[in-house]
């Protein structure tokens, strides 16, 4: 019966979505136009799920169906309410994939993304073999598919944690509802998140707890001892490990599993800038808390990343070293630029941003409270605490364009979700008794987080969506881009802002140059824009879209109705032609006398870094070092860690490691 | 635990399903290699790319319980597909047909290792 309620709730959510009028979106985003029936429906599903958690025994089918239904309501809502896929960067990624698919090459001189082309290569390959080159349906269904897929490695992670089935199912729900960050659009990041979860899951399942090894070394060990012995008055030797011992597998199978783990990491290194570092941090954390038997893995991972960044991503860093290393160590500065500096714009928009911070803080607080509740069961949850804590190291390294806080929360979420579930169901074993009254706090929490999710995730929907007509405007341009065109777009801050809020670059990335220009606060002040268009010469256009105009109003505090006034005044300006117009986009150009010279189109796709002797030397050192370190880990894992061989390999690797560091530094200096 | 005849039935059912998946996948691969534009091409070739490496690695992870085994095999499948695609791109030899043949070869190799005759040989 609970299953029927859950399914009915999901259906009740989906049915009224056809009548949603996106024209009435306000600063709170999608929740301002969602029908009340829909919200009631999904809340009913959440309550049914919560009640199922408190029954005497588990009904996996009911819980699974309810959870899947809730995920569909959370992540696929825009599939049913919006005609075109949302989020500008998803289109840009699909454009990079189209470039690789069309040319069979990368264009590292064009965009930093091309220095990490793994994801584009994989998708382009699939496009070619299936013969299907239309990525729009993929863009539309990608978020909900990836979010559902993430449940599989999460299941594997939780299998090795000592907890009741109630806590595990609740953790899965908290993980899905806590993932409001919105990094699950079609992108390398979303796929790499799945890889990160799989990486951690495989380490914990087969290379995790070793019986008898309990002491944490160094300062973390001292902190751990202080916490348990002095704060909580519990001697360490009565603690039960919070993890289950891994099943025994043969040496050959361990080698295969290690190969899969390394394969995941190598693909992550070649497809995303940030995730490999988080994987290294997670592995290092597990090694420090003595829950990873592949103790040399972090070093091997660091060498792989260093090798890729130094040798293959040259186009990215040569000339941009200050951007890469400028924020190193600036913990406080990175935090400020990530959290505080981004709170601008209209009051509603600011509320959305504040709610996001509050949501993240609430989840982390619930996790902390869960750790405290688990004390009564005298359980040692060091793995989960390490998984939550290690991503925070990223604050010290990069501000990543101000987005690092979101990413840190995203990567801390799996551990935090399990710990937060312990707040409600901390028992390590199940006693087979249902306590239905516990459904009340779980339901209240669940529904509150659910409503907060819709605001946090879709709060920026006024400019993150893609209204009908914007893609058509770009199709107009793509039909006329032979020989290259320049496209001016209106930004509140041209220097820092490099993403227009429109479905840009989804095709012909090497043929359109996007130029941000300052949008005038007074919509009638068009002199600068027209002068820019004149200076750019023929084959230059200016585009404005409803979503970019909403962005100016919501995020940068331009006057309400700015867009309508701007379009009217621009169309009426002398010399300006309206080449294309629909309800949601307009494209303008200046008239030039016939025969005016077109400025040469400068977009370069390749990069040609200076050749240097350090490259072949470095590659040789890198290859040998990788062989030594990889052999060491295979020997450790498959042959029962024979001390002499491992020591010999470690000693061999040290001078090579020193040599690699020298080569990398010299390359940074010479090739820059 | 299944016993006797029930075990044989279950094993042969699993074997039939595997054979069916491989056959369907090979049809898809054939369509893709031939460059046919049938509507069946897309789902069948995706089926092939998913199941061929997955079944190959799944068979090597005997003795591990099914849930974890499937997830590990899925991870291996992603790595194999992505690795082939990326190697082609990096080497400048962008040929999707070649990539498809490479995946067929890798899956075939993984399958060959699992054949009882080969395993007996390895043990000796």
**Per-residue model confidence as pLDDT tens digits over A467-480:** 989 999 999 999 98
Q: What does the pLDDT read at residue A331?
A: 60
Q: What does the pLDDT read at residue A625?
A: 94
Contacts of B74 in chain A (CB under 8 A): 152
| Closest chain B residue to A153, measured at CA | B71
Q: Is the pLDDT of residue A239 over 70?
A: yes
In whole numbers, what is the pLDDT of chain A averaged over residues?
Answer: 87
Rounded distance between C-alpha atoms, residue A401 and residue A378, angstroms: 42
Q: Is the pLDDT of residue A603 over 90?
A: no
Q: Average pLDDT of A233-242?
A: 73
Q: Output B88 or B114, whichever has higher pLDDT.
A: B88
Q: Is the pLDDT of residue A339 over 60?
A: no
Quote the DSSP letter at residue A545.
Answer: E
Q: What does the pLDDT read at residue A450?
A: 94
Distance from CA of B44 to the nearest CA of A (A): 9
B83 to A126: CB separation less than 8 angstroms, yes or no? no
Contacts of A308 in chain B (CB under 8 A): none
Q: Is the pLDDT of residue A612 over 80?
A: no
Of A106, A125, A260, the CB nearest to B79: A260
Element (DSSP H or E) covering residue A64:
helix A60-75
Rounded distance between C-alpha atoms, residue A115 and residue A142, angstroms: 23
Q: Is the pLDDT of residue A110 over 70?
A: yes
User: Quick check: B27 contacting A, CB < 8 Å?
Assistant: no
**Per-residue model confidence as pLDDT tens digits over A90-103:** 999 999 999 998 88
| Closest chain A residue to B80, measured at CA | A263
A260 to B75: CB separation less than 8 angstroms, yes or no? yes
Q: Is the pLDDT of residue A398 over 70?
A: no
Distance from CA of A193 to the nearest CA of B (A): 13
The answer to whether A404 touches A328, Cβ cutoff 8 Å, is: no
**Per-residue model confidence as pLDDT tens digits over A150-192:** 999 999 999 989 899 999 999 999 999 999 998 999 999 999 9
Q: What does the pLDDT read at residue A610?
A: 65
Q: Average pLDDT of A51-76?
A: 91
DSSP characters for chain B?
A: ---HHHHHHHHHHHHHHHHHHHHHHHHHHHHHHHT---TTHHHHHHHHHHHHHHHHHHHHSTTS-HHHHHHHHHHHHHHHHHHHHHHHHHHT---HHHHHHHHHHHHHHHHHHHSHHHHHHHH-
Distance from CA of B25 to the nearest CA of A (A): 12
Q: Average pLDDT of A316-334?
A: 65
Of A130, A263, A270, the CB nearest to B45: A130
Of B64, B75, B99, the CB nearest to A264: B75
User: Quick check: B63 contacting A, CB < 8 Å?
Assistant: yes
Q: Is the pLDDT of residue A73 over 70?
A: yes
| Closest chain B residue to A191, measured at CA | B78
Please report, rounded to a whole number, the percentage of residues in chain A having pLDDT higher than 70: 93
Q: What does the pLDDT read at residue A179?
A: 94
Q: What does the pLDDT read at residue A494?
A: 86
- Alpha helices (H) in A104-250, listed in sequence order: 118-130, 136-149, 151-159, 165-178, 188-206, 218-225
Of A270-274, A512-516, B18-22, B46-50, which range is least confident? B18-22
| Closest chain A residue to B82, measured at CA | A122
Q: Average pLDDT of A283-294?
A: 91
**Per-residue model confidence as pLDDT tens digits over B93-102:** 888 889 999 9
A100 to B65: CB separation less than 8 angstroms, yes or no? no
Of B61, B79, B99, the CB nearest to A263: B79
Q: Is the pLDDT of residue A284 over 60?
A: yes
pLDDT band at A626 (very low <50, low <70, confident <90, very high): very high
B100 to A267: CB separation less than 8 angstroms, yes or no? no
User: What tokens appear for A373 in the block?
Assistant: 């509740």
pLDDT band at A68 (very low <50, low <70, confident <90, very high): very high
User: What tokens appear for A471 in the block?
Assistant: 């893609």
Q: What does the pLDDT read at residue A108?
A: 83
Q: Is the pLDDT of residue A330 over 70?
A: no
Q: What does the pLDDT read at residue A250?
A: 86
Highest-scoring range by mean pLDDT, A198-202, A209-213, A247-251, A665-669: A198-202
User: Quick check: B52 contacting A, CB < 8 Å?
Assistant: no
| Closest chain B residue to A105, measured at CA | B89
The answer to whether A195 touches A234, Cβ cutoff 8 Å, is: no
Q: Output A39 or A317, whichever has higher pLDDT.
A: A39
Q: Average pLDDT of A289-295?
A: 89
Q: Average pLDDT of A134-148?
A: 93
Of B68, B79, B100, the CB nearest to A156: B68
Alpha carbon separation from A258 to A191, A261, A468, A630, B51 (Å, rounded): 20, 5, 48, 10, 21
A131 to B89: CB separation less than 8 angstroms, yes or no? no
Q: What does the pLDDT read at residue A122?
A: 94
Q: What does the pLDDT read at residue A346?
A: 83
**Per-residue model confidence as pLDDT tens digits over A411-461:** 999 999 999 999 999 888 877 777 788 899 999 999 999 999 999 999 888
Q: Output A398 or A243, whichever has higher pLDDT.
A: A243
Q: Is the pLDDT of residue A196 over 90?
A: yes
Contacts of B78 in chain A (CB under 8 A): 195, 264, 267
Distance from CA of A130 to the nearest CA of B (A): 4
Q: What does the pLDDT read at residue A319?
A: 65
User: Quick check: B38 contacting A, CB < 8 Å?
Assistant: no
Rounded distance between C-alpha atoms, residue A205 and residue A243, angstroms: 10
B74 to A256: CB separation less than 8 angstroms, yes or no? no
Residues in contact with B93: Cβ distance below 8 Å, sequence separation at least 6, in sequence order: none
Q: What does the pLDDT read at residue A236?
A: 72
A263 to B67: CB separation less than 8 angstroms, yes or no? no
Q: What does the pLDDT read at residue A305?
A: 94
Of B76, B83, B100, the CB nearest to A129: B100
Q: Average pLDDT of A532-555?
A: 90
| Closest chain B residue to A194, measured at CA | B75
In a 13 Å sphere around the CA of A49, the CA atoms on its Cβ side amount to 33
Q: How many CB atoms lie within 10 A of CB A239?
A: 16
Residues in contact with A176: Cβ distance below 8 Å, sequence separation at least 6, in sequence order: A67, A70, A71, A74, A75, A147, A151
Rounded distance between C-alpha atoms, residue A605 and residue A102, angstroms: 14
Rounded to the nearest angstrom, the gap between the alpha carbon of residue A15 and the centroid of all alpha carbons in its chain is 30
In whole numbers, what is the pLDDT of chain B averaged over residues?
Answer: 84
Could you identify the residue written with the tokens 């809340």?
A43
Q: Output A245 or B113, whichever has higher pLDDT.
A: B113
Q: Is the pLDDT of residue A343 over 70?
A: no
Contacts of A97 in chain B (CB under 8 A): none
**Per-residue model confidence as pLDDT tens digits over B43-87:** 888 889 999 999 999 989 988 888 999 999 999 999 999 999 999
| Chain A residue set in contact with B, beta carbons under 8 Å | 100, 104-106, 117-118, 121-122, 124-126, 128-132, 152-153, 155-156, 159, 195, 198, 201-202, 205, 247, 249-250, 253, 256-257, 260, 263-264, 266-267, 270-271
A125 to B81: CB separation less than 8 angstroms, yes or no? yes
pLDDT band at A248 (very low <50, low <70, confident <90, very high): confident
């Amino acid at each position: 019966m609970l299953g029927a309620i859950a399914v009915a709730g999901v259906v009740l959510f989906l049915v009224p979505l056809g009548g949603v009028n996106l024209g009435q979106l306000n600063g709170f985003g999608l929740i301002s136009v969602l029908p009340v029936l829909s919200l009631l429906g999904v809340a009913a599903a959440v309550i049914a799920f919560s009640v199922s958690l408190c029954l005497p025994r588990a009904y996996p089918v009911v819980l699974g169906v309810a959870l899947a239904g809730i995920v569909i309501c959370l992540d696929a809502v825009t599939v049913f309410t919006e005609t075109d896929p949302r989020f500008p960067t998803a289109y840009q990624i699909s454009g990079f994939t189209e470039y690789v698919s069309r040319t069979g090459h990368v264009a590292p001189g064009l965009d930093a993304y091309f220095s990490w082309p793994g994801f584009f290569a994989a998708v382009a390959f699939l496009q070619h073999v299936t013969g299907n080159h239309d990525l729009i349906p993929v863009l539309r269904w990608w978020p909900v598919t990836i979010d559902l897929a993430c449940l599989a490695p999460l299941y594997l992670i939780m299998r090795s944690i000592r907890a009741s089935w109630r806590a595990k199912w609740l953790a899965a729900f908290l993980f899905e509802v806590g993932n409001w960050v919105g990094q699950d659009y079609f992108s390398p990041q979303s796929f790499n998140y799945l890889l990160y979860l799989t990486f951690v899951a495989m380490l914990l399942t087969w290379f995790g707890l070793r019986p008898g090894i309990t002491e944490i070394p160094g300062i973390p060990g001292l902190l751990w001892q202080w916490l348990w012995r002095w704060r909580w008055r519990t001697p360490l030797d009565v603690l039960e490990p919070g993890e289950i011992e891994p099943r025994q597998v043969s040496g050959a199978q361990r080698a295969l599993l290690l190969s899969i783990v390394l394969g995941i990491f190598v693909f992550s290194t070649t497809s995303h800038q940030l995730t490999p570092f988080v994987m290294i941090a997670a592995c290092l954390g597990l090694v420090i808390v003595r829950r990873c038997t592949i103790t040399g893995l972090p070093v091997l991972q660091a060498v792989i990343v260093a090798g890729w960044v130094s040798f293959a991503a040259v186009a990215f860093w040569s000339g941009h070293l200050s951007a890469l290393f400028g924020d190193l160590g600036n913990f406080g500065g990175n935090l400020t630029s990530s959290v505080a500096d981004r709170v601008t714009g209209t009051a509603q928009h600011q509320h959305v941003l504040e709610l996001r911070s509050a949501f993240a803080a609430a989840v982390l607080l619930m996790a902390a409270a869960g750790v405290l509740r688990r004390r009564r069961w005298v359980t040692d949850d060091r793995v989960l605490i390490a998984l939550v804590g290690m991503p925070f190291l990223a604050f010290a390294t990069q501000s990543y364009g101000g987005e690092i806080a979101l990413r840190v929360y995203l990567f801390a979420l799996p551990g935090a979700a399990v710990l937060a579930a312990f707040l409600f169901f901390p028992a390590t074993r199940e006693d087979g008794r249902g306590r239905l009254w516990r459904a009340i706090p779980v339901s209240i929490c669940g529904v509150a987080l659910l409503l907060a999710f819709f605001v946090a995730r879709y709060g920026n929907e006024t400019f993150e969506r893609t209204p009908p007509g914007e893609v058509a405007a770009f199709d107009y341009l793509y039909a006329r881009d032979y020989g290259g065109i320049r496209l001016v777009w209106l930004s509140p801050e041209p220097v820092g802002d490099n993403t227009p809020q429109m479905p840009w670059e989804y095709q012909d990335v090497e043929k359109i140059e996007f130029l941000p220009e300052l949008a005038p606060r007074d919509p009638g002040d068009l002199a600068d824009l027209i002068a820019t268009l004149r200076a750019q010469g023929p084959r230059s256009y200016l585009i404005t879209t409803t979503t970019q105009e909403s962005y100016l109003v919501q995020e940068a505090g331009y006057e309400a109705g700015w867009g309508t006034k701007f379009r009217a005044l621009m169309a009426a300006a002398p010399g300006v032609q309206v080449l294309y117009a629909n309800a949601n986009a307009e494209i303008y150009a200046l008239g030039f006398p016939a025969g005016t010279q077109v400025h040469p189109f400068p977009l370069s796709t390749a990069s040609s870094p200076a050749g240097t002797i350090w490259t072949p030397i470095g590659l040789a050192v890198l290859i040998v070092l990788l062989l030594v370190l990889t052999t060491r880990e295979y020997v450790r894992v498959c042959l029962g860690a024979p001390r002499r061989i491992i020591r010999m390999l470690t000693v061999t690797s040290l001078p090579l490691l020193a040599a690699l560091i020298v080569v990398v530094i010299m390359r940074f200096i010479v090739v820059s | 635990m299944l016993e006797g005849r029930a075990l044989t039935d279950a094993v042969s059912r699993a074997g039939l399903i595997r054979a069916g998946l491989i056959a369907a996948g090979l049809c898809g691969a054939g369509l893709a290699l031939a460059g046919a534009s049938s509507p069946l091409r897309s789902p069948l070739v995706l089926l092939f790319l998913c199941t061929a490496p997955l079944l190959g690695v799944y068979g090597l992870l005997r003795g591990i319980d099914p849930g974890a085994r499937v997830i590990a095999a899925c991870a291996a499948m992603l790595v194999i597909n992505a690795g082939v695609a990326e190697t082609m791109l990096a080497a400048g030899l962008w040929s999707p047909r070649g990539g498809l043949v490479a995946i067929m070869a890798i899956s075939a190799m993984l399958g060959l290792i699992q054949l009882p005759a080969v395993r007996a040989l390895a043990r000796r």
